[in-house]
Structure formats: C-alpha cells, structure tokens
Amino acid sequence: MAKINEDLLKERKKCSFNTAELTHLLDGGKDKTLERHSREHFFLDDPELRSKIPLEYLSHKEKYEEAVRKSCILFRKVQELQEAGKGGIENFREILGGQLGSAILKDGNPLTLHYVMFIPTITGQGDFEQQAEWMHKAWTCSIIGTYAQTELGHGTFIRGLETTATYDPKTEEFVLNSPTLTSYKWWPGGLGHSANFAIVVAQLYTQGKCHGIHPFIVQLRDEETHMPMKGIKIGEIGCKLGMNSTNNGYLGFENYRIPRTNLLMKNNKDGTYVKSPSSKLTYGTMIFVRVVLVQDCASYMKKAVTIATRYSAVRHQSEMKPNCPEPQIIDYVTQQYKLFPYIAMSFAFQYSASWLWDIYNNVTGELESGQLENLPELHALACCLKAVGTADCAAGVETLRLACGGHGYMTASNLPSTYGLATAMCTYEGENTVLLLQTARYLIKIWQNKKNIQNLPTVRYLDNALFNNRSYEKSVSWILSALQQVAAAKIDLANKHINDRVRQGKAYEDAWNETSIELVAAADAHCRTFLLDIFNLTVNNFQSISPELKAVLTDLLELYAVHTAIRMTGDLLRFTNTIGKDVEALQLWLEELLAKIRPNAIGIVDSFDIRDEVLGSALGAYDGNVYERLFAEAQKSPLNHEPVNKSFGLYLKPFLKNNL
C-alpha cells in the first residue's frame, strides 16, 4: 500500500468518533456495508471494466465504442446479480447512475435508459399481457430499450408533443409519423446507435380525434443486423457539455406501422380506447426517476466533497502568520465555509431521498388499487426535491471544484466531469424552474383550501406557520419554525399577488406568470423546510448510536440549519421576528460550527467510504499523494509520448523561420 500523506495521517488521528460506525449508519447497517463492498468488488475489481487509455484522450466515436463495450459487461454482471437473487433496486441504482456507475462509465452509460426508464415504463404502464410479452425480453436484455418523449420542439410541455400515432382499424395498427422537423424525438439516451426498441410518447388519434399523449413500444432497429427499420430515421445528436458517451439520439417516423397491442394499456383496461382515470398516470416513470435522482444528488455531493476536503488537508498555501509554516488550506475559515456546508448537505439529501423513496413506494402501492388521492402530494414533493437537490448539487460541485484552485480545473481531479453529470440533472427529467412551478401550483391550491391539510404530512405545517412569533433562539427548532414561517409567508404573498392581478382584470394564467418568480421562491422555501425537518427528525430518532457520533451528526445538522438560515437572511428579516442582532448571532454560530467540525472533517468524509476508483481523482485519493498522482496523470497525455510533436515540423518551424 502507498505511503499515506503525513497531513492526512494527523487528521485521521484527530477524529473524535468511530468512522466505521458512521459508515454503517449511512449504509443502513454493517451487513449493508458488507453487501456494498462485495458489489463494489464485483464491479470495480473486474479488469474488463477498466479502460486502458483515459477517456479524455479518445475521440467521440472511440468514447462511444468503449462505453458500449463496458456497458455490455456491466449489464451481463447485473444479470449475474439477478440470477444470484441480488437483483433488488438498491443493487441496481448505484450501478446505473450514482457513484459506482459514474466510476465505471465516467461520461455516461449509453444503455442506462433500458433499466431506468424502458423497463419501469412497461412495468408501470403495460397491462398484464403486455408485461408477459415484453418483460422477459427486457429483463434478459434480448432487446435494449430507451425512453423517447422529448422532441426538438418540446421537452417541458409534453401535451404539445407532435409525433402522431394514428389508429388504422383495417389493419389494427398504429401508424407513427413525425409531421414536422420539430416533432423529431431529440435527446433520449442510447437512442442514437445503441437501443433497438423504445417507449415512444405520441399523440394518439382514432377516428380523426386526438386523445392526447400515450406511450407505445416501438421497434427501432432490426434485431439481427441493427439496421434502422424502414420508416425510421435515427442518429445521434452530437457533442454536449458532458455525458458524451450516453449516445443521446434523434428519431423521426415516416408512416411507420406498429401493432395495436403496442399501445401500453394498463390505464386503458379494454382493447378499444378508454380514457384512463387520470391522464397523469402516463407521467409515472418521470416521478420514479425524479425520486431516484435525489439519492444521486447525495452521492455526487459526497464524492465531490470527499475530493475537495482531502485535498484541502494536503494542500499548503500562503502564510497565516509571519514566519510560520504555510498552513493547510483547510485551516482557512473561508475554505471551511466552501467545504463543510456541503458535507452537511450530503446528509440532508440522503435522508430526504430515503423518505421520498418510502413515500413513493406507498403511493404507487395505492395507485395499483386505484387510490389516487396522495399522488398530488407525492408529485409536488418529488418535483421540488429533484429541483432543489440537483441545483444545490451542481452548485456545490462547482464550489468544491473552485475550492481546489487550479488543480480542480484538471480533468484528473474528476470534478469537471462530476459537474457535467450534476448539471445535466438540473435539466433532464423536468427542467428545475418548471418543476418548482409544479410544486407551487400544489402549494397555492392547498393554501386556498386547507380543509384536509392535517392529513397531508408534507404541508400540514402551513396550517399555522404564518402566525409563529418565536423570538430568536440558538436552536434547530427555532430555525425550522422560522423557515416554515418564511415558506408560508411566501405562499401567502404569491397567492395574494395572483388574486390582486386577477382582480385587476388579468386572466388567471397571466396573473400566475406575472407572479411566477415569487411562486418559484415559495416552492424553494417549502422544499428547504422539508429537507431540514427530515434531517432533524432523522438525527433525533437515532437511538442506539454512540454519543460521539451523535455529537458529530448534531454539529452537521446545526451547520445545515444555520447555513440555510444565513442563505435566507433577507427572508428571515422580511417575514419573521428575526432582527439584525439575530443574524449576527447566526453568523457567530456558523463560525463556531465550522471550528467544531474542523477536526472531524477528514473522518466524516472517510466515513463516506468511497473507494479511490469511484472518486477517480488525483486530488481525493485515500493516501493523499496528490502531487505524485497529478504528475502520473500528466504522463498519460499522448503529447508526452514523443519528445517533439509533428506540428513542430509542419507549422512552428516554418513560422519561426519566417519571423527571423
């Protein structure tokens, strides 16, 4: 084993709690940690899943080919896990996205959509016969599918999609067409050259009448030759900010026929067209992915904060006091302020993701038996957590990258590509502003009619939050009640402004649009109360953990609360009893917490227990040999494989001669 950096050794000795205890707590028990280790060993120690050349030095085409090679091995291994009875969703999720998946396929997996959206859509939208027909093929990967909803002209407004599926009763087929350029499907992952099937979302027409958007199973390519089927126009959309191996594609139809039975029918019980009990049931897969993405926010944040915190303990720079050795940069309070809130935030997102997952499972269970009443609350919560989680995650990864100075800009830090993955989440599966407006729509409805509010756990605080007159106390409970008051006040104000505008004669939709900045802010504030509430409940509910660990978790909880409060200073002053002196007290509390967390910072990120292969970073490895690793990474540049590059003879030399 490589020699461990002296600074990190010292940091690890300072830690006041047992890091293994925290690892087990985060995993859900020691047995779960061991399962995770065995899963990581299964994937990461397979030499076939390693690349010989760093991805960055490959061409676009080579990157894709390498990604397909690895994805096939990865999927074969997923199938082995399934056959061994270890096919639960918790085994899958980290492999498809999250830390493990992004360690193996740094720039995205071209086949991911098969498990993440194709299979869930068939499960969620297909009737019994359709599941019998397609699920075996899909689970065994005899076919590979994607989810083709977004078009060149429409991503957000899915009722406006233009692809048509017109029923032909003579042949009992649907005829798919892309009537305009803007109706071309655009974006689906793996659509370009990888998938041979897709869920296609199209406007359903029967007898000249449009019945709105519906999902269809569509074969795109010949199962033997992989050539596009006749009537299918297909390709890749080109290079992007990140995720350049995901093979996002375009797709057009020209009188392409599919059997009637390829319309997913779970919500249309009879063979003829019957309107489903809620058109929003078609949107189920999107809720599923939004829910799982919140967990990915925690994963990416843990990864980035581990890299930046370890690097900050190893890196020395400047003079704090004259004639003293250069301090570790982690001793600068401004540096702590860049790091520690994101450590705390990782916990907040992990705990909320876990609550959201439980709520999701309860509500989807209810949907199976036709109960729809809790769907709006789930939808509103999933939308705001996805939006706030992904936005905070992307901003956090960028802050952490900047916290690593110049070396953070190197791809060898793995922070740029982590940012590429994180910022993509802000757009896909529902653009964040649009999702916050969905939550706001629900909150305004609740605000206008509070009759059943006590039965709605995520919003019941709104019943009396407006009238909280608590004076400042140095406690999480005070911050929580203050944030709840802010959220309630923002909803109230937005509601008032909509009503004022309507009274002035504006159409409700115009009034809504004119108030939408406030509505987004209200949904954001509501979401932040949920995140803090769940973090607080979770830490308070830990019964059998050591007092040392409880103390660290309490520090992190308080830091999360104070950091959130300080970010919302203006709101606190505007909507609660908070006065200037209280803000000063909050600032002092923040500084106190940074100092308290400082000796445990390395211990906490060590407890995340992220393998070096997953961190994939010269700056963040467990041994802290940052400079050696950066140097070794530089040697991998193809430019360093020869002392003089041919461009010297071709361009530089003649240029230099001309200048003589």
Ligand X SMILES: CC/C=C\C/C=C\C/C=C\C/C=C\C/C=C\C/C=C/C=C/C(=O)SCCNC(=O)CCNC(=O)[C@H](O)C(C)(C)COP(=O)(O)OP(=O)(O)OC[C@H]1O[C@@H](n2cnc3c(N)ncnc32)[C@H](O)[C@@H]1OP(=O)(O)O
Residues that bind ligand X (CB under 6 A): 89, 92-93, 96-97, 112, 115-116, 119-120, 147, 149-150, 155-159, 189, 280, 283, 286-287, 292, 296, 375-376, 379, 428-430, 434, 438, 441
Q: How far is the CB of 412 from ligand FAD (least distance, A)?
A: 24
Give 509-542 as a DSSP string. Answer: HHHHHHTHHHHHHHHHHHHHHHHHHHHHHHHHH-
Nearer to ligand FAD, 117 or 593 (CB): 117
Task: Give the nearest distance from C-beta 411 to ligand FAD in angstroms.
Answer: 19
Rg, C-alpha atoms of the chain: 27
What is the rounded CA–CA span in Å between residue 45 and residue 173?
A: 48
**Is 429 part of the annotated catalytic residue set?**
yes
Other Cβ atoms less than 10 A from the Cβ of 625: the count is 18
524 binds, among ligand FAD, ligand X, none (CB under 5 to 8 A by kind): none
In this structure, what DSSP letter does residue 324 have?
Answer: S
User: Choosing among ligand X, ligand FAD, none, which partner's interface includes residue 641 (Cβ < 5 to 8 Å by kind)?
Assistant: none
What residue 20 binds from ligand FAD, ligand X, none (CB within 5 to 8 A, per partner kind)? none
How deeply is 144 buried, as exposed, middle or buried, from its count of CB atoms within 10 A (0-12, 13-18, 19+)?
A: buried
419 interacts with, out of ligand X, ligand FAD, none, CB within 5 to 8 A per kind: none
Query: Residue 248 binds which one of ligand FAD, ligand X, none, with CB within 5 to 8 A depending on kind?
Result: ligand FAD
- 150 among annotated binding-site residues: yes
Q: Nearer Cβ to ligand FAD, position 113 or 534?
A: 113
Say if residues 542 and 25 touch (Cβ distance below 8 Å): yes
**Least CB distance from residue 147 to ligand X, whole Å?**
6
For ligand FAD, the nearest residue by Cβ is 155
Catalytic residue among 11, 151, 377, 429, which? 429
- Please, what's the largest Cα pairwise distance for the chain? 90
**Residue 401 C-beta: closest distance to ligand X, Å:** 21
Contacting positions for ligand FAD (CB under 6 A): 113, 147-150, 154-156, 187-189, 243, 248, 424, 427-431, 433-434, 437
Question: 339, 309 in Cβ contact below 8 A?
Answer: yes
Question: Is the Cβ of residue 155 or residue 603 nearer to ligand X in the bound state?
Answer: 155
Q: Which is nearer to ligand FAD, 291 or 465 (CB)?
A: 291
Give residue 339's identity as a one-letter amino acid code: L
Q: Which is nearer to ligand FAD, 143 or 565 (CB)?
A: 143
The item of ligand X, ligand FAD, none sharing an interface with residue 100, based on CB under 5 to 8 Å by kind, is none
> Which of 413, 385, 399, 402 is closest to 616 using CA atoms?
413
For ligand FAD, which is the closer residue by CB, 431 or 613? Answer: 431
Query: Pick from 326, 105, 316, 142: which is nearest to 219 by CA?
Result: 142
Give the other-Cβ count within 10 Å of 276's Cβ.
18
Q: How far apart are CA 161 and CA 435, in angstroms?
A: 18
Q: How far is the CB of 93 from ligand FAD (least distance, A)?
A: 17
The answer to whether the beta carbons of residues 26 and 607 sit under 8 Å apart is yes
- C-alpha distance from residue 623 to each of 282, 314, 339 (Å): 49, 10, 19
Q: 418 among the known binding-site residues?
A: no
Which helix (H) or strand (E) element contains residue 238?
Answer: none
User: In whole angstroms, what separates CA 227 from the centre of its chain?
Assistant: 33
For residue 141, the minimal CB distance to ligand X (Å) is 12
Instruction: State the residue for tokens 């608590």.
Output: 470
Q: Binding site: which residues? A: 150, 189
Residues that are catalytic? 429
Q: Binding site for FAD: which residues? A: 150, 189
